[in-house]
Structure 1
């Protein structure tokens, strides 16, 4: 059934359809609408799950870790400094192999205080052992959340569903919301592989001395290596039931492209139109949408770039002292490939600033005219009145 819903509520609907048993959250803009809706669903009896109000994001993650350890299907949501406060417990969730799903609404970190879009918060958690999936629109946010539960419970690893602040979280658009019976066909009741049970006492997350700690970490990496196949299996089933699929990466008009634009999130929609406009003018340009960031789909990336000579990466994030994070990951993934197109790194759209068609075309033109990438990431769209360029 098609409904016009806010991006945040598309996530809430997916959590309801997933029959989540325990939810906890602390309100932080711009993720608050997700958990507000879920608390209303529980209060109205539309969900049988339990909503736990907590005093911080650290406690929110601790609560779902406890519930997941007991065998419940769990969910939480956060943004920005809330995610940063969770950082310690993100490691505990992944190392315990708990299939927690979390919606993370990208928001800039302070200071200065900023509530708008920036991907640095989620990308700063890239080494915590969480699967990360990035969304472009409301339909994808709903579908990805349902997929996330299936993937988490197959891989025994937590999943972060990432969406842009305001551009997606607070934008209303038509979304196909499936009925409960159809959702149940795709996502059956959760059957935990390991759980705390008073009838069979055990301990979880105990001391790991040098004789076993390294092997535990290797096991997590082995689980991550299984994720692409598990994701493909889940998405095949999703397509059979719902008629939609997204892939770990999406290539648009890349078959004969000489230059490929690469990015994640809502800027993809604008870039797709720019690619069409440039194609109409005879430019051989394509678009690569990054959807799965952890684990990074290296083999798929190498196949999709084809014979492109250059890749221009738009990062709405920044690693100080290094540069754009997606650009660095793509560069590393291509390093041992048969072909190594030049990777151009651009920074724009930080703190919620618009990424306009003009900015995207400027990125394309700069890449086309340059023989080699700049040593550092190029910042595009700076205000010369504030920061002389």
Structure 2
């Protein structure tokens, strides 16, 4: 691996050019992570391969544990986190589904595990390409879900996810698009270890971690006298997470100079039609919005980074006085709607705005800028159904 890099503005920040999977691996190498259980699955595999190479070359020091399955991987993460140390793993698609039972266990046990997930379509048919169906199907497991759109977001949010998880005691997924990010070279600012260490602080303080001087039982029977209270505490932790995210973004900007609003927007102020987007479709749509405006169509867009927690009030404020919205979902909840569209419709149900769902890009099908433009034009010129499936790829 020989990524191109150069010094940035004569300071300590270095710009690197790496693939998305390498980016998160390099961030992991700086995060003082003690235990990394792993199992390979495309398109995630190069994350754990890069970590193995970094350990081999002395760039990081972690217990790297090859396991026999993704189910075992998450079990090992739970054990390590219960001992009070930072843990990391990565997975995709069917591997994430295989972890499902233990995802609930990790959140219910209030363990600050962080996992990199490279979105992959769910089989059958067997498909290794980009599709958000794997992660959105885990939205009710009690994990924070962060959907990244650039290499810089992947890098920065690995550190933010650890700080957030360790504050509210909930696990987090740092999510990126398969191949469009994971296997595509991109530029990002790579920070010196000293600055990262200041932001990351010490190892997590888990109040119920194993302590041989104070033996305790973990995971014992919970009956009707306390089970509901445990669930309410997770609910409260997600509410608390919203303010913690805002505070962490402010701290991150102060230390590194990069800012992250809860919702990123483009050309929203006077927009007559707004696109609700997540993942790399947002980056693709910059040019589409510019082209549409040259044609007299006042389009704008908003990026949804967090599926859990979902920032309802902030979205309502952004969309105040807007009349029309199209949500392009790279996923689908059978019997209902696109998942991001469902969340947005629920959040804006009290507001007088027309919201329609467009399902596009499933199974790795490309969503080009021209596809985005055609979707917008169809919505203006045709009476699209409530849920419209865009199967064409406009080159």
Common fold by TM > 0.5: yes
Q: Which runs of 5+ in 2 are unaligned?
A: 1-13
Note the alpha carbon deviations across 1:277-299, whole angstroms, 9 max, x for none. 21223322111111011011101
Mapped to 2, the partners of 1:340 and 1:217 lie a distance apart of 34
For 1:207, the equivalent position in structure 2 comes to 221
Mapped to 2, the partners of 1:307 and 1:201 lie a distance apart of 57
For 1:344, the equivalent position in structure 2 comes to 356
Pairwise CA RMSD of aligned residues? 1.2
Aligned pair 1:124/2:124, yes or no? no
For 1:66, the equivalent position in structure 2 comes to 79
* Further displaced range: 121-130 or 361-370: 361-370
Q: SS where residue 90 of structure 2 aligns?
A: strand
Aligned pair partner of 1:353 in 325, 349, 365:
365
Note the alpha carbon deviations across 1:32-77, whole angstroms, 9 max, x for none. 1111111222222221211111000001100010000000011010
Note the alpha carbon deviations across 1:266-324, whole angstroms, 9 max, x for none. 11111111112212233221111110110111011101113211110101101111121
Aligned pair partner of 1:11 in 24, 32, 52:
24
Aligned pair partner of 2:265 in 251, 263, 278:
251
For 2:7, the equivalent position in structure 1 comes to none
User: Residues 26-175 of structure 1 correspond to what in structure 2 (within 5 A)?
Assistant: 26-175=39-188
Q: SS where residue 104 of structure 1 aligns?
A: strand
TM-superposed deviation, 1:382? 4.5
TM-superposed deviation, 1:263? 1.1
Note the alpha carbon deviations across 1:63-109, whole angstroms, 9 max, x for none. 01000000001101000000000000000000111000001100001
Q: Is residue 120–residue 128 contact of structure 2 (8 Å, CA) maintained in 1?
A: yes
For 1:387, the equivalent position in structure 2 comes to none
For 1:374, the equivalent position in structure 2 comes to 385
For 2:299, the equivalent position in structure 1 comes to 285
Q: Is residue 253–residue 259 contact of structure 2 (8 Å, CA) maintained in 1?
A: yes
Aligned pair 1:325/2:335, yes or no? no
Aligned pair 1:191/2:204, yes or no? yes
Q: SS where residue 268 of structure 2 aligns?
A: coil
Mapped to 2, the partners of 1:130 and 1:370 lie a distance apart of 39
Q: Is residue 196–residue 203 contact of structure 1 (8 Å, CA) maintained in 2?
A: no
* Further displaced range: 302-311 or 163-172: 302-311
Question: Which contiguous aligned blocks of 4+ residues in structure 1 show a shift greater than 6 angstroms?
Answer: none
Mapped to 2, the partners of 1:145 and 1:152 lie a distance apart of 11
Note the alpha carbon deviations across 1:88-145, whole angstroms, 9 max, x for none. 0000000111000001100001111111000010000000000000000111111111
TM-superposed deviation, 1:374? 1.9
Q: TM-score, normalised by structure 1?
A: 0.95
Q: SS where residue 211 of structure 1 aligns?
A: coil
Q: TM-score, normalised by structure 2?
A: 0.94
For 1:24, the equivalent position in structure 2 comes to 37
Q: Is residue 256–residue 307 contact of structure 1 (8 Å, CA) maintained in 2?
A: no
Note the alpha carbon deviations across 1:126-170, whole angstroms, 9 max, x for none. 000000000001111111111111111111100001100000000
For 1:234, the equivalent position in structure 2 comes to 248
For 1:386, the equivalent position in structure 2 comes to none
Mapped to 2, the partners of 1:251 and 1:298 lie a distance apart of 16
For 1:264, the equivalent position in structure 2 comes to 278
Mapped to 2, the partners of 1:254 and 1:333 lie a distance apart of 18
* Further displaced range: 164-173 or 360-369: 360-369
TM-superposed deviation, 1:348? 0.7
Pairs aligned (count) = 379
Q: Which runs of 5+ in 1 are unaligned?
A: 384-389
TM-superposed deviation, 1:340? 2.9
Mapped to 2, the partners of 1:221 and 1:291 lie a distance apart of 20
TM-superposed deviation, 1:370? 4.9
